[in-house]
Amino acid sequence: MKVPTGLLAALPRLQWLDIRGGSGASIDTVDGCTSLTYLAVNQIRGVNDLSALGRQTNLRLLSLYGLPQVREVPSLAELTHLERVEIGSMKGLSGLRPVLEAPFLEELVLMNAVGLSGTDPEAIAAHPTMRAFEWFAEDVPDSTWVPVMDRVGLPRARAMTASDWFDRNP
């Protein structure tokens, strides 16, 4: 990502940001973007540091996809507006516990191979505000994803674009 330091933070009305492709080790370029309600980070080679996510306290929708170097997501406990998280093609993850620390998370969508811990299904099911879960597991064996869906036991979240989600959740 070749964005000058502070450029995005200087855009006080920036609410949606979709970062796709390129290279870089972190997403620190979003630091100071205090109005972000939607953030997508997709296919950035070399990204292994998502610590800036924990400082995006106005996020309502977060989408992370195709970040093979990421081993863990920072705690999302401070993201009190976060309602939906989409995570895909991140088989290197050690688990979803930090994501599940988002206190008002309602929907979790997994796509393709995603690294889960053995306790993640129960933690998803036990989350106090979680109302929907889905795993679109095209490249994952049924023996892996079907038991997770069964253990979570929540209604299925719908696949939708960010625009559609925000239209349904103004």
- The domain segmentation of the chain, as residue ranges, is 8-161
Q: Report the length, in residues, of the chain.
A: 170
pLDDT at 129 over 80: yes
How confident is the model at residue 45, as a pLDDT?
A: 84
Q: Report the mean per-residue pLDDT for the chain.
A: 94
Of 62, 72, 61, residue with least CA distance to 120: 72
CATH class of the domain comprising 8-161: alpha beta
> pLDDT, tens digit, for every residue of 27-79?
988 999 999 999 999 999 889 999 999 999 999 999 999 999 999 999 999 99
